[in-house]
Amino acid sequence: MEKTISIAVQKSGRLSEKSLDLIRSCGIDFYADSRVLKARATGFPLSFLFVRDDDIPQYVADGVADIGIVGRNEYDESGISLDVVRDLGFASCRLSIAVPHSFDYRGLQSLEGKRNATSYPNILSRILRENDVKADIVVVSGSVEITVDAGVADAIADLVSTGTTLKMNGLEEAECIYRSSALLIANPDLDDDCRLLLDRLLERIDAVMLARHKKYILFNLPAEKLDEAAAVIGGMKSPTVTPLMDKGWVSVQSAVDESRFWAVFERLKALGAEGILVMNIEKMTE
């Protein structure tokens, strides 16, 4: 039988769609009517295990799945040691201290002797310990933001991405103490076949992730501005340059970092670039 590698993915929640999007971008899909517990992929010898995110580190540790996609927060909270193969960058959020308006927060020391509600007691207690703060931790599994109003906590440490849930509950974000995004984790004792499959998968994931941070740009330019344009684009060996019918003009194409894109775009326009065409890149290698 053909060897497969199995991946644990959150069944439904904030990680699910982006995890599956990434895998689909790698040319891998699956057939399943509804999202059953297990599914076999098409396009790669991979099988999926759809589970709650909290269980993913343990499943990977036990070998129930070979690899998994889980938030750094759940991985750290689990206390389990696995191979962190990639930080995938999506599902980013922060663990923040939030307090009611009446609380005069002046750094973690303000939590000394106070009751702090969180779903991440291990992460919070480590951070408090590192900062020499002695405080009570009230462990709750959900709806952390209502604990202050309910009178069971003085402050909370909770995951935030926009902060609106906090505001709706009369709390304000006082300090970010930890950042998380989705990780690709692997069992450290994978056999050789699995490791080869993981490497093949990583090649695809890296190509997709690299492409996500780049744009492909194509434009016409007065030939005498070529050196200046190459300097603006920067960071690459040489742009591809094609002569145009009109001898004074060339067509230039290159990949550009998304973070620098608008700065590059404006400077190229200032150099006289015309007909600028910008495209998303689907996959790419360095």
Contacting residues toward ligand ATP, per CB under 6 A = 10, 13-15, 52-54, 71, 73-74, 91, 93, 159-161, 180
- Closest distance between ligand ATP and the C-beta of residue 80, in Å? 15
Residue 158 binds Zn ion, judged by CB under 5 A: no
Residue 53 binds Zn ion, judged by CB under 5 A: yes
Find which of Zn ion, ligand ATP, none residue 228 binds, CB within 5 to 8 Å per kind: none
- Counting other chains too, the contacts that 161-166 makes at CB distance below 8 Å and 24 or more residues apart are 161/92, 161/93, 161/94, 166/98
Radius of gyration in angstroms for the set of CA atoms belonging to the chain, rounded to a whole number: 24
| 158-188 residues labelled b (16+ CB within 10 A) or e (exposed) | bbbeeeebbeebebebbbebbebebbbbbbe
Sole binder of Zn ion in the list 17, 54, 172, 228 (CB under 5 A) = 54
Give the DSSP H/E element, type plus range, for residue 6: strand 5-10
Cβ proximity to Zn ion: between 54 and 173 the closer is 54
Cβ proximity to ligand ATP: between 4 and 165 the closer is 165
Residue 172 binds Zn ion, judged by CB under 5 A: no
Find which of ligand ATP, Zn ion, none residue 83 binds, CB within 5 to 8 Å per kind: none
- Closest distance between Zn ion and the C-beta of residue 142, in Å? 9
Cβ proximity to Zn ion: between 53 and 145 the closer is 53
Size of the site for Zn ion (CB under 5 A): 2
Taking a C-beta distance cutoff of 8 angstroms, is the pair 256, 239 a contact?
Answer: no
Taking a C-beta distance cutoff of 8 angstroms, is the pair 15, 9 a contact?
Answer: yes
Find which of ligand ATP, Zn ion, none residue 10 binds, CB within 5 to 8 Å per kind: ligand ATP
Query: In what order do the strands lie in the sheet containing 46-51?
Result: 29-30, 38-42, 46-51, 5-10, 67-71, 182-186, 83-87
The amino acid occupying position 247 is K
3 state SS of 102: coil
For the record, the structure tokens of 192 come out as 């050789």
- Closest distance between ligand ATP and the C-beta of residue 254, in Å? 34
Residue 66 binds Zn ion, judged by CB under 5 A: no
- Closest distance between Zn ion and the C-beta of residue 119, in Å? 9
- Closest distance between Zn ion and the C-beta of residue 172, in Å? 25
Find which of ligand ATP, Zn ion, none residue 167 binds, CB within 5 to 8 Å per kind: none
For the record, the structure tokens of 72 come out as 């750094």
Residues found near Zn ion in the complex (CB under 5 A): 53-54
